[in-house]
């Protein structure tokens, strides 16, 4: 990758951001990335401007069932406490054949639009046997086992610094608010470490045993690169996983994508209840 490429990334992200600005005057402060089976949350957005990814210059297209591919801009919450948000209904993954620069391109664009806070969500396999299927878990930290890094290549200083801290990648303050809000709504939000693999194959039982020994509680195929890029830009992050299945070998049964989609629908009410209550709190929190 040459220096021209880092500059190109910035220019391409700027043109995508300009296109989005031409569609709405709304300036999102908080972004939400909706993972597999969780896309319906976008219907909570008021006064929505919906932009298909296909219309946005340079935006990658999702090829996976359950990832709609729309950017929804609008507000969440009551008029006096309403928060301007950008919701990504679907994302792309490296296993679809995209580079990490492409996978994280939307995150770069959101940063240029002025987003300061991110709620990133995903479907994950549960490695910690205490999580049941359908559990919502706050990500406390991650292990990147994808063998690559979205910030590889020449650094673009308009995005951030060459080397950047990841010691509080998932804001402890945001997690605390999320745990408290779940308790207020009558359920326990556990915290756990998310380990990322490339996929698309699900893991083998031996891999899951190895990941458990490494300290992982959850496994998935997304999120870590978006979070790396968000931290590069100084964006504060709350990560939420939905345990759609127990990881390979935990139960004596195969894993299938239909199950992943179905669980998203089953916990929709709980997930929506948590997010709609949390968004105004995160928006006003200094972090």
Residues taking part in catalysis: 36, 67, 93, 95-96, 123, 221-222, 245, 257
Q: Identify the three-state secondary structure at position 184.
A: helix
How many positions of this chain bind ligand HPA (CB under 6 A)? Answer: 13
Report, in Å, the least distance between residue 197 CB and ligand HPA: 6
Q: What interhelical angle do 3-23 and 105-112 show, nearest 10?
A: 60
Q: Quick one: 64 or 173, whose CB is closer to ligand HPA?
A: 64
Could you count the other beta carbons within 10 Å of the beta carbon of residue 116?
18
Q: Which stretch binds ligand HPA (CB under 6 A): 37-45, 91-99, 100-108, 219-227?
A: 219-227
Among 48, 112, 221, 275, binds ligand HPA (CB under 6 A): 221
Span 199-218, contacts to ligand HPA by CB under 6 A: 202-203
Torsion of CA 262, 264, 265, 268, to 10 degrees: 160
Assess 219 for contact with ligand HPA (CB under 6 A): yes
Q: Which of residues 80-139 bind ligand HPA (CB under 6 A)?
A: 123-125
Closer residue to ligand HPA (CB): 131 or 202: 202
- Per-residue buried b or exposed e for 246-284, using 16+ beta carbons within 10 Å of the residue's own CB: bbbbbeeeebebebbbebbeebbebbeebbebbbbbbbe
Contact between 119 and 171 under an 8 Å Cβ cutoff? The reply is no
Among residues 41, 14, 95, the alpha carbon closest in space to that of 264 is found at: 41
Residue whose CB is less far from ligand HPA, 160 or 239: 239
Give, as one character, the DSSP assignment of residue 132.
P
Residue 184 Cβ vs ligand HPA, minimum distance, rounded to whole Å: 28
**Residue number, nearest CB to ligand HPA:** 125
Q: Is residue 247 near ligand HPA by the rule CB under 6 A?
A: yes
146 contributes a contact to ligand HPA by CB under 6 A: no
In whole angstroms, give the CA distance from residue 197 to residue 143.
9
Q: How far is the CB of 191 from ligand HPA (least distance, A)?
A: 18
Report DSSP letters for 60-104, one per residue: ----STT---EEEEEEES-GGG-EEEEEEE----GGGT--HHHHT
Q: Which residues bind ligand HPA (CB under 6 A)?
A: 123-125, 202-203, 219-221, 244-245, 247, 255, 260
């Amino acid at each position: 990758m040459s220096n021209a490429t880092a500059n190109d990334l910035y220019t391409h992200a700027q043109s995508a951001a300009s296109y989005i600005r031409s569609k709405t005057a709304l300036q999102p402060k908080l972004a939400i990335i909706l993972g597999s089976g969780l896309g319906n949350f976008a219907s909570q957005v008021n006064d929505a401007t919906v932009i298909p990814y296909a219309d946005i210059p340079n935006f990658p297209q999702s090829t996976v069932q359950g990832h709609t591919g729309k950017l929804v801009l609008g507000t969440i919450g009551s008029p006096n406490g309403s928060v301007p948000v950008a919701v990504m209904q679907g994302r792309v993954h490296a296993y679809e054949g995209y580079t990490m620069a492409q996978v994280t391109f939307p995150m770069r664009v959101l940063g240029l639009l002025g987003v300061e806070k991110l709620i990133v969500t995903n479907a994950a396999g549960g490695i910690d046997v205490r999580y049941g299927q359908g559990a919502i878990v706050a990500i406390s930290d991650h292990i990147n086992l994808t063998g690559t890094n979205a910030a590889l290549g020449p650094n673009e200083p308009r995005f951030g610094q060459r080397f950047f801290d990841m010691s509080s990648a998932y804001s402890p303050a945001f997690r605390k608010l999320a745990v408290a809000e779940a308790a207020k709504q009558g359920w326990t939000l556990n915290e756990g470490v998310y380990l990322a693999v490339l996929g698309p194959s699900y893991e083998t039982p031996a891999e899951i045993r190895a990941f458990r020994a490494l300290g992982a509680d959850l496994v998935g195929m997304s999120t870590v690169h978006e979070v790396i890029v968000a931290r590069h830009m100084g964006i504060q992050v709350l990560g939420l996983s939905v345990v759609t299945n127990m990881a390979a070998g935990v139960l004596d049964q195969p894993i299938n994508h239909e199950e992943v989609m179905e669980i998203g629908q089953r916990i929709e009410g709980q997930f929506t209840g948590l997010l709609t209550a949390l968004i105004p709190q995160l928006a006003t929190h200094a972090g």
